[in-house]
Structure 1
Amino acid sequence: MTETTTHRSWNRREAEIKWDDKSPLTISVETREGVIETRHGRFVGGAADGVEVVELDTGVMRVMVLPTRGMAIWKLESEGVRFGWDSPISGPVHPSLVPTFEPSGLGWLEGFDELVVRCGLESNGAPEHNEQGQLVYPLHGRIGNLAADSLSIEYDEASGRLELIGEVIEARLFFKRLRLKSRLRVHAGSHRVYVMDDVTNELSTPSTMQLLYHINIGLPVLENGAVLEAPIEELAPKNDLSAGEIGSWNQFGEPEVGYQERVYFAKLCHDDSNETTTMIRSKDRARGMAVTYNVSKLPHFILWKNTAAESDGYVIGMEPATNFPNRRSFESEQDRVVTIEPGETASFRLSLLPLINEKAVEKTSQRIKELSEHASVVIHEQPRQGWTEGL
């Protein structure tokens, strides 16, 4: 088996990846739309040791996928612009080193540095403890720290389409067995990546689930003067701290030492096909990231605003979700959990489009304006009852 080792400056450290040139997941396909290539390998050394990685190269975009971390998208690079963020941790971190169930319920944060990470499947919000103080649901759930198997690649030479497919099972005897089948689709010569997830309940009794896509952008797109554009139907701050910036909820400043995160909950306008789009763009409108998704299955949107010092994690999160990320019991009371019957599948679809010039940003901005041109926008200056727990 032939192996090559390269170093990639995706993060502030040099990430060593041992690529496997003989892997069936390392291929080059000539299509009518151009050549599309994939590489398969594993990280070597440190907290990343053993983490599996698949790189998808469309000719204009490279996507780094982490099957070991729930099929997360670690980083994306398009036309020389990097899309992702610099977390204080040295990721990617192997799930075996992430203490998901440590008593505070916050262990998930020790592995968090991806561009796209799924939160769920049993729960996706704040940690929850029972009356005895025992952890019941950890922060953001388990799926992001479970490894995928059954990896495969499918492609179509005529259309230039290629899909990386992986399956992740979240299970516990007597309680649950949820199978996530994820397809990450790209096309030769295209900047867009599609995330196509199907969650199946494999038990003989009904099950409930939650899912949130934590999509995180830092430098160079996030900067002083960057803006989030979204077709808002209704929006409210999560808490009093967030309410203090309600007048500038979608505007981002320079990195600030001691900045505490702000969070905003929203519902977005959509078209006749139930699709909506939001984006973060740079101050000069020269670059950005657009997220398009279907609100029939992901009816809620969360903005995570964390413009802290660069060393502390200068980042914002665009988060389409089945619910708001409160404690699971509260979300269940508000009927914001998804019920899946035995053998039934719930499907979730979204896409990411890196915007690498002013024309692409303007096209997306126009799309967002069209979605909201007839909307009666409601902006709450204080947390909204039924959306924020404890009101």
Structure 2
Amino acid sequence: MAAPMLNTSAGKQQWQDKIVNAAQLGGIETSVIDNGPGRGTRIAWINTGTGLRYKVVIDRGMDIADAFFNQHSIAWLSHTGITSPQPYSNTGLDWLRTFGGGLITTCGLSHVGGPETDEHGQRGLHGQISNIAAQIESIVQPDPLAGKMEMSITGTMKQTQLFGPCLELRRTISATIGKATISIHDEVINRGNTPAPHMLLYHCNFGWPLVDEGTDIIWQGQWQPRDKDHVQIFSNKNDFRKCPAPLDSHLGNGEEVAFIDPVMDAAGWCVCGLHNAKIGIALVIRFQKIQLPKLINWQHWGKNDYVVGIEPASNFPIGQAKAREQKELIFLQPGETRTYDLEMEVLDNKENIDIFLNDLTKAN
């Protein structure tokens, strides 16, 4: 395994006096896709040196597409894969045409949910932010020879128009050589001069082989099915916390969704994730409930389209109109900023996986 070789604890490192270029351990590499529907799209590969490596799509809201731990893919990728951004494609179900899946697709910044039209305007599925290119502010590379193991990439995306609303997302994705962790710090700022509606959802998508028959889907909290009249999976009579075999009922657009009020610990953190005992990997998601009070579990078990989504959010994906009606819609005042922190960690040590699972059992 790579992690012990890169041990960042005190004392002499095993790589000391044996490398001159930090890229031999890990770091950030930027490039441009030159073929297919993503031609011309900027990306950044981040390699933590632990077996965890992932692709940040700079031109698609700095979302994360492919992600691997050693030989195992952990993200789900749709038919489309990475496409170039289409920032003005924001009506109806346009969003689905360029939804590549990936480890994280950001939804918002002002609408999360289905297409809708009202006196406040027209909004397409899940908003615009994942189709907006970033302006990169900085790329900080690790410098192990100087004792600096951290790396990060920071950029801003502007979801704006004349006469408003004018929202800006400033995102920093950071990692550390020797740690199988992804950290995302987001700041959403109202750059306009009037209050702006705001909704945000992290569409985290996991696929084979992390997601397989028998994989545990892990979260705690009170829940209810989104579609109460069409329940097959999210029923107390069914074990919806284990991934099933592909389902004929999920061919095409078959799916089920649960809305969850996640449990938090004493420090305000919510913890959820997946565990595949067959390949000895657990993926842990952490977020602050005060920032992201809602959690969504999307299950879509179609043949080949085999995916589970675990999605922390500011609101359930009910749309801006319904959130406004229920007085749950957030409004950012001019100049106001909201911050969000999301962390993912991959565990492959049995002792650490057992601690993760036992802590969740106690919390429940």
Q: TM-score range by the shorter chain?
A: 0.7 to 0.9
- Overall identity of the aligned pairs, in %: 25
2:256 pairs with 1:262: yes
Mapped to 2, the partners of 1:335 and 1:29 lie a distance apart of: 51
- Kept after mapping to 2: 8 A contact 1:322/1:337: no
2:108 pairs with 1:108: no
- Kept after mapping to 1: 8 A contact 2:111/2:320: yes
Cα deviation digits, residues 308-367 of structure 1 (max 9, x gap): 111xx2101000000010121111222322222211110000101123344343222123
Q: Which residue of 2 aligns with 1:124?
A: 112
Q: Which residue of 1 aligns with 2:58?
A: 67
- Structure 2 vs 1, CA of residues 221 and 79 (structure 1 numbering), >3 Å: closer, same or farther? same
Secondary structure of residue in 1 paired with 2:213: coil
What is the identity, as a one-letter code, of the residue corresponding to 2:272?
T
Mapped to 1, the partners of 2:278 and 2:230 lie a distance apart of: 26
What is the identity, as a one-letter code, of the residue corresponding to 1:63?
Y
Cα deviation digits, residues 237-292 of structure 1 (max 9, x gap): 00135533213232221122341100000011111221011011225472232110
Query: How far 1:135 sits from its partner (Å)?
Result: 7.4
Mapped to 2, the partners of 1:352 and 1:175 lie a distance apart of: 34
Aligned partner (choices 308, 315, 332) of residue 324 of structure 2: 332
2:243 pairs with 1:252: yes
2:183 pairs with 1:194: yes
Query: How far 1:214 sits from its partner (Å)?
Result: 0.3
- Kept after mapping to 2: 8 A contact 1:79/1:356: no
Q: Which residue of 1 aligns with 2:354?
A: 362
Q: Which residue of 2 aligns with 1:153?
A: 139
What is the identity, as a one-letter code, of the residue corresponding to 2:107?
C
Aligned partner (choices 343, 348, 362) of residue 335 of structure 2: 343
Structure (1/2) with the larger strand percentage: 1
> Size of the alignment, in residue pairs?
334
2:231 pairs with 1:240: no
Pairwise CA RMSD? 2.2
Aligned partner (choices 259, 273, 288) of residue 267 of structure 2: 273
Give the unaligned 5+ runs of structure 2. 1-20
Q: Which residue of 1 aligns with 2:125?
A: 139
Mapped to 2, the partners of 1:283 and 1:306 lie a distance apart of: 21
Q: Which residue of 2 aligns with 1:18?
A: none
Cα deviation digits, residues 29-82 of structure 1 (max 9, x gap): 48xxx9432211011122010111101111112121001000000121122221
- Structure 2 vs 1, CA of residues 257 and 35 (structure 1 numbering), >3 Å: closer, same or farther? same
Aligned partner (choices 57, 62, 82) of residue 47 of structure 2: 57
- Kept after mapping to 2: 8 A contact 1:226/1:280: yes
TM-score normalised to structure 1 length = 0.80
Query: How far 1:208 sits from its partner (Å)?
Result: 2.0
Q: Which residue of 1 aligns with 2:288?
A: 294
